[in-house]
Structure 1
Amino acid sequence: MTPLLRRVLTALLLLAVFVPAVLWAPAWLWAALMAGMIGMAAYEWARLSHFPPLSARAYAGLLTLCALVLPPLLAADWPAYQTALIVLAVGFWLVAAPLWLLGRWHATQPFIRAVVGVVVLLPTWAALLYLHARGPGILLGVMAIVWIADTAAFFSGRHFGRRKLAPAISPGKTWEGVAGAFVALALYASALSLLAGMPLLWLLLMVSGLLYLSVLGDLFESWIKRVSGMKDSGDMLPGHGGVLDRIDALTATLPVATGMLMWLEHAA
């Protein structure tokens, strides 16, 4: 089996499990599934940070436990904490992450890595819960931006890629791949505009911003892997690497998209 075929088959299997869960899973089951996913990503983050095996498992268990118990434990106060997590992530991805990559920070200290893992992963989980509560169509519509961008960038970069986007961070990324992703997302925005009657210019601005964040999330994890001396965060997903490899772009896009939605709902 070729690497490309393995990658495609794994993606199809993930979609076959994930999409029905989005559409039909009750809120409690969705929350449990997402807590499990964040726990697996946390374990891979701990591995990338070179935590000892016992510490890595404890870290993953702690984040999984937080994801499982925080909403029922906080009860009526949960929306405020959920908003705080989203605001924290927006600040990280709009300010700290770009500076991190520009400065080529290593930040290998265990405490710093543990804190950054929380900032990267828990808001992603909070965003998944928030968007799912607003309706499967909204969640899938936002996630489709990342999926379309990732697929288009992969194939356009594979066939036309010449100029490296960030060779010191991720040698495989090219400007042609980003251009292909933008074209695909422009078509997606045009289709949404026709189907939902939303202003095309606003949609183009939105998908452009989320494309930037998608690339940023991908590059951030690539830099962490490069600093750690590891090619993939794990080997759970054939052709894709680990769970964190699969959700790296989502860790940046989902919290910011959720923040935008929260702002629009508050403004309305």
Structure 2
Amino acid sequence: MTPLLSRIGTAALLLAVFVPAALWAPAWLWGGLMAGVVGMAAYEWARLSHFHTLSAGGYAVLLTLCTLALPYGLAGNWPIFQAVLIALAIVFWLLVVPLWLLGRWQAPHAFVRAVIGGVVLLPTWAALLYLHARGPAVLLGVIAVVWIADTAAYFSGRLFGRHKLAPAISPGKTWEGVAGAFVAVALYAVALSLWGDMPLRPLLFMVSGLLYLSVLGDLFESWIKRVSGMKDSGASLPGHGGVLDRIDALTSTLPIATGMLLWLEHSA
């Protein structure tokens, strides 16, 4: 099987599992599934950080247990903790990560890497729970921006890519890929405006912001892999690498999209 067919086949299988879960899974099952995703991504993050196998497994178990226990253990305080995680992610992605990439920080210390892994993964998990609770249309509508952007960037970059976006961080990414992604998400915004009777200008602003964040998340993981000397975060998803490779753009977009929705809810 060619790499492209392998990539398409894996994506189709993931969609066949994820979309029905998003549409019909009860909250407890959705929470369990997302805890599993966090656990696998945490293990891959630990391996990228060169933790020993036993330490990587312990780190993954710790984050998985946190995701399973926190919503129930915090009870009525869970929404406050969820908002704190989202606020932490907003600061991290809008302020820390751009400086990180510009300065090409390596953060080799295991403790720092462990903390950063929590900052990357736990707000993403909190956002997935929040968006799922708001309904499948909200969850899938936000994630679709990332999926569309990723697919368009992949194919437009392969067909037209000439000018490197950030060669010192990720040599495979091009400005042509970003341009293709922008056209695709802009068309998605137009479709939402026409079919969902929503104003176009705010939608274009939103999807453009999420596109920027998705590129940022992708570049951040690419830099971590480059520093670690690894091509992929894992090998569990043929054609895509590991779980972290598949969700890298979601780690930056979902928490901030959730933050926007929280702000709209509390300002209404």
TM-score class normalised by the smaller sequence: over 0.9
Deviation at 1:199, TM superposition (A): 1.1
Matches within 5 A, 1:69-84: 69-84=69-84
Gaps of 5+ in 1: none
Find the residue that maps to 1:7 and give its secondary structure. Answer: helix
Paired position in structure 1 for 2:49:
49
Deviations 1:26-75 (A, max 9, x none): 00000000001000000000000001111100000000000000000000
Gaps of 5+ in 2: none
CA–CA separation in structure 1 for the residues paired with 2:185 and 2:19: 20
Deviations 1:98-143 (A, max 9, x none): 1000000000100100000000000000000000000001000000
Paired position in structure 2 for 1:38:
38
Paired position in structure 1 for 2:15:
15
1:171 is matched by which residue type in structure 2?
A: P
Paired position in structure 2 for 1:249:
249
2:191 is matched by which residue type in structure 1?
A: A
Paired position in structure 1 for 2:64:
64
CA–CA separation in structure 2 for the residues paired with 1:186 and 1:40: 33
| More off after superposition, 128-137 vs 196-205 | 196-205
Find the residue that maps to 1:165 and give its secondary structure. Answer: strand
**Would you say 1:3 and 2:3 are equivalent positions?**
yes
CA–CA separation in structure 2 for the residues paired with 1:48 and 1:242: 11
CA–CA separation in structure 1 for the residues paired with 2:24 and 2:180: 33
CA–CA separation in structure 1 for the residues paired with 2:251 and 2:163: 26
CA–CA separation in structure 2 for the residues paired with 1:151 and 1:37: 21
TM-score by length of 2: 1.00
Deviation at 1:16, TM superposition (A): 0.2
CA–CA separation in structure 2 for the residues paired with 1:44 and 1:33: 17
Number of positions where the alignment pairs a residue of Structure 1 with one of Structure 2? 268
CA–CA separation in structure 2 for the residues paired with 1:266 and 1:122: 22
Paired position in structure 1 for 2:170:
170
Deviation at 1:197, TM superposition (A): 1.4
Deviation at 1:198, TM superposition (A): 1.2
| More off after superposition, 192-201 vs 110-119 | 192-201
Matches within 5 A, 1:20-31: 20-31=20-31
Matches within 5 A, 1:100-111: 100-111=100-111
2:120 is matched by which residue type in structure 1?
A: V
2:119 is matched by which residue type in structure 1?
A: V
CA–CA separation in structure 2 for the residues paired with 1:199 and 1:132: 24
Find the residue that maps to 1:187 and give its secondary structure. Answer: helix
Paired position in structure 2 for 1:193:
193
Paired position in structure 2 for 1:233:
233
Matches within 5 A, 1:80-159: 80-159=80-159
Find the residue that maps to 2:105 and give its secondary structure. Answer: coil
1:202 is matched by which residue type in structure 2?
A: P
CA–CA separation in structure 2 for the residues paired with 1:158 and 1:167: 16
Paired position in structure 2 for 1:258:
258
CA–CA separation in structure 1 for the residues paired with 2:150 and 2:52: 32
CA–CA separation in structure 2 for the residues paired with 1:24 and 1:189: 25
Find the residue that maps to 1:173 and give its secondary structure. Answer: strand
Deviation at 1:195, TM superposition (A): 1.2
TM-score by length of 1: 1.00
| More off after superposition, 174-183 vs 196-205 | 196-205
Find the residue that maps to 1:236 and give its secondary structure. Answer: coil
2:52 is matched by which residue type in structure 1?
A: P
CA–CA separation in structure 1 for the residues paired with 2:201 and 2:132: 26
